[in-house]
A and B are shown apart, each in its own frame.
Chain A
């Protein structure tokens, strides 16, 4: 029996996909915001901290970058509440997981950015009498952020894509909405084509937005 495309059911429940996309984006935004805070703090701690601090930060980075996100999501949502008396919802659990995961990637981005700040700039800061803290705040961090922009854009889009994993713990985001429509209508090609376009469009918009920011602030003009 040939398969006939029929988008009717998808449009009928399109509100599920739209609210799903909104939830995906909000989870990504929240996780990115927390992840950036973790990343910045740890990157600064890594360049100025003791050997033990550095080892601890490297351990965090290596562990979270080398374990599948799916396992981390299960660990936080199903694992931790079995041993400890804490209760949290699926969405909060996923955002926390993605934020810690994001932090591990962003530390690396910021560390590379800090390492790429030209020595001459830091020395110039010294020469005009800035204290080490002032040099960090006014010279190294702003320059590092501008250097890191291209890598940041890619990391942000990839974190947005990772929000699809939240579907496995029944967070009603975009992929979960698509699964719901698929289960109730078997319109698999239609619904997955639609969400593919939604993911692509959103990711592309994010990249364009980052390009605009880059064009305004980037120091990598060649």
Chain B
């Protein structure tokens, strides 16, 4: 057995712990940004006119900053304003802010793609805002939102590798630590790449599956 392969095998239990951190960072980011992004997307399209440009400005600005800069900004900046949080929390916060901006934009696109006549018709038959959203707008918008959203989940998993740079013990950090001990750089980067690939390729297959299912339903309408 080559030393590279042996190092890969030996590293597996250690990488597993890193992988769990990567998965929990990603999962937290995905859930937080889905909720916040959906709310902001609704505010952007149906909110009070003063809030709409504010939401747009938030998402435009955040999407214009490199994720790495945002992570450093949050990590080094929070203690300055008196908030002592650990690196895990600031990593999740920074990635969630970034992902929220993406989700807001996706939600806006999906909501605006529904013809305004639908909303007006629902108003005309006396549905309240909540009813219009729940039974007319959201079911249609969700279909257009879903495939693009799965892509943003992939981006969140990929972006989570950057949190190793502020000391979070994720998969990327675990790979670096194993390389530091074994000097088997190439085999371990290949192994790490394969793990990230498996997660993200799985997600993109899921996205394609969703897309096919949803377009099937749309074609039948």
Contacts and interface: CB of A to CB of B under 8 A. Distances in A.
Contacts of A182: 72, 76
Interface string B191-215: 0110011001100100000000000
| Contact residues of A: prevailing secondary structure | helix
| Contact residues of B: prevailing secondary structure | helix
Contact of A162 (B66, B179, B186, B192): B66
Contact of A199 (B69, B172, B179): B69
Interface residues of B, number: 38
Interface residues of A, number: 39
Given A66-B201, A79-B186, A200-B65, A192 B76 contact: yes
B76 A188 contact: yes
Interface stretch (B48-56, B112-120, B138-146, B153-161): B153-161
Interface in A151-206: 157, 161-165, 167-168, 175, 178-179, 182, 188-189, 192, 195-196, 199-200, 203-204
B193 A199 contact: no
Interface in A56-97: 62-63, 65-72, 74-75, 78-80, 82-83
A66 B76 contact: no
A178 B158 CA distance: 23
A133 interface: no
B77 A192 contact: yes
B67 to A, nearest CB: 8
Contact of A188 (B80, B162, B190, B192): B80
Contacts of B69: 164, 175, 178, 192, 195-196, 199
Contact of B189 (A3, A74, A199): A74
Given A175-B72, A192-B69, A75 B201 contact: no
B121 interface: no
Contacts of B61: 200
Contacts, number: 111
B65 A70 contact: no
B64 A62 contact: no
B136 interface: no
A74 B161 CA distance: 12
Contact of A70 (B64, B73, B157, B161): B161
A165 B68 contact: yes
Contacts of B183: 82
B133 interface: no
Nearest to B192: A71
